[in-house]
Amino acid sequence: MNRSAMLDQLADSSTEWDVIVIGGGATGLGIAVDSATRGLKTLLLEQADFSEGTSSRSTKLIHGGVRYLRGGEVGLVRESLRERGRLLHNAPNLVRKLSFVVPAYRWYERIFYGTGLVLYDFLAGKLGIESTGHLAKSKTLEKIPNLNPEGLRGGTLYWDGQFDDARLSVALARTAAANGAAILNHVRVTGLQKNGAGKVNGIEAKDLQSGKSYSATGKIVINATGVFTDSVRKMDEPKAENVIAPSQGIHIVLDAEFLGGETAIMIPNTDDGRVLFAIPWYGKLVLGTTDTADVPVELNPRPLEEEIDYLIEHAGRYLVKAPKREDVRATFAGLRPLVRPPAPKTEDGETEKKETSKISRSHSLFVSKSGLLTIAGGKWTTYRQMAEDAVDKAIKLAKLNPEQSCSTKDLTLLDREESEIKELMESDPSLLEKLASGLPWRMADVVYAVRNEMAQTLVDVLARRTRVLFLDETAARKCAHPVAQLMARELGKNETWIAEQLKLMREVEGL
């Protein structure tokens, strides 16, 4: 992916795009892949880095969401399971199957969760992974050696998918670009253009790296900006009603010994009715998540101390070796772009608020009077279906003429070229050096990310092309300077740039 060539395409004012997508998270990138593979001339603009919003901060599960069965959302679970199966097939290097144990401490839990998970398997149909099964206490402890044995009656074993969300985002960007789309990170849409009839027919944008302004015309503009949805809707209609109810979820990262095995834990119902996951990822343990409503909308939300305490405290109830605050290697927070349900009135006429954990994770499409198409809500797992629905709607609204119908159900997603990284290391052995001990990335990954994956900033590399910042903040701080120096060499930048990048990393990630 060549950023300057894409900028040249954006600068060409003679181009009329079929589809302009605002937002380069899972939703926007999925739309760009769908639109480009139908032969539509597609432009995508992301104000920060690909997936820098919510899409790099998920629990990293490609899952049906077994807990939504409790809320009766069978349709959503079935759709998610179908998409899970497709992703495992279309991105075999990027999504892997992972086993989970639901531990049972009360007599009825094995029957209750076991029945729910058998239904989960049934709903997956032929796209299922492996069968759910009951585990005796000894087998449960064999799978999760650090699980608290006191009062344990056994467990239920089931399967779901796991992935690296930021890496899948880059794969989507690469796939869209390979199919002819122009995909740009660090370009913010600052306004919408309208024609004489008041219909949206383009965007104004600014490259935040160079400060240069651009404008582009398109037959339809799709707003896929996650928790920023309402700010873009207000560019169109300043009085547009808010449709997003953001909800913050955080994760903490611990050393893998706190789990003790390769099987994840799922606690479907904590004291306050939440779901808790403990998941092995890149040799660490990711613990999450929380659900905090009424949070400000920002690009880099930080975990609240009480959310961190909540996770540490709840994990301690289930693990023999309970984590303490000083065991936390890293934390990360994300904002769920939930679609606000129509609020029912209470008896005294007040508007009743629904807890964000109870708001549906399904997606919705909105079309404004001036033709701005907005897609909001959903999950990483369902990004492909969301994209298909959005592009179908865009074709109808803008009377587009695609060359072919949607083909993403079995489209292989393009991952990075491992052989090119190997070649880099062979040509320069200094690139073999690891960014952090115990983590897989090397200096060659930094060079590859700059040359092929549009990494523009130090944080792009440390947080999303590699995941060092998400996994071990101290290790990220340690390698930040040499990584910035290497990036500066690749990008032709000077010492001032390096100092700025280090400062930005401290500010943005709160280090």
- C-beta of residue 76 within 8 angstroms of C-beta of residue 85: no
Rule CB under 6 A: say whether 337 interacts with ligand FAD.
yes
Count the residues of the shown chain that bind ligand FAD, applying the rule CB under 6 A.
41
Q: Least distance in Å: CB of 176 to ligand FAD? A: 14
Phi-psi region of 245 (alpha: psi -120 to 50; beta: other; left: phi over 0): beta
99 beta partners? 159
Q: Which helix (H) or strand (E) holds 214?
A: strand 213-223
3-state secondary structure 52-116: CCHHHCCCCEECCCHHHHCCCCHHHHHHHHHHHHHHHHHCCCCEEEEEEEEEECCCCHHHHHHHH
Q: Which of 18, 46, 160, 453 binds ligand FAD (CB under 6 A)?
A: 46
- C-beta of residue 249 within 8 angstroms of C-beta of residue 290: yes
Q: Least distance in Å: CB of 426 to ligand FAD? A: 35
Rule CB under 6 A: say whether 124 interacts with ligand FAD.
no
Q: Least distance in Å: CB of 280 to ligand FAD? A: 14
Q: Which of 58, 357, 456, 457 binds ligand FAD (CB under 6 A)?
A: 58
Tokens of 484: 């910035």
Rule CB under 6 A: say whether 61 interacts with ligand FAD.
yes
Rule CB under 6 A: say whether 55 interacts with ligand FAD.
yes
Nearer residue to ligand FAD within complex by CB, 42 or 59: 59
- C-beta of residue 84 within 8 angstroms of C-beta of residue 124: yes
Considering only the stretches 92-100, 108-116, 220-228, 350-358, report the one whose residues sit in contact with ligand FAD under the rule CB under 6 A. Answer: 220-228
- The DSSP-derived string for 376-435 is EE--STTHHHHHHHHHHHHHHHHT---SS---GGGPPPP---HHHHHHHHHH-GGGG-BS
Q: Which of 6, 88, 189, 200 binds ligand FAD (CB under 6 A)?
A: 189
363 beta partners? 377
Q: Give, to the nearest 10 degrees, the angle between helix 26-37 and helix 383-398.
A: 60
Q: Which of 220, 335, 406, 479 binds ligand FAD (CB under 6 A)?
A: 335
Nearer residue to ligand FAD within complex by CB, 242 or 401: 242
Q: Which of 7, 28, 156, 444 binds ligand FAD (CB under 6 A)?
A: 28
Q: Which of 314, 379, 384, 416 binds ligand FAD (CB under 6 A)?
A: 379
Q: Which of 68, 158, 228, 258 binds ligand FAD (CB under 6 A)?
A: 228
Q: How far is CA 481 from the centre of its chain?
A: 27
Contact residues for ligand FAD (CB under 6 A)?
22-28, 45-48, 51-55, 57-61, 63, 188-189, 224-228, 232, 249, 289, 299, 334-337, 378-381
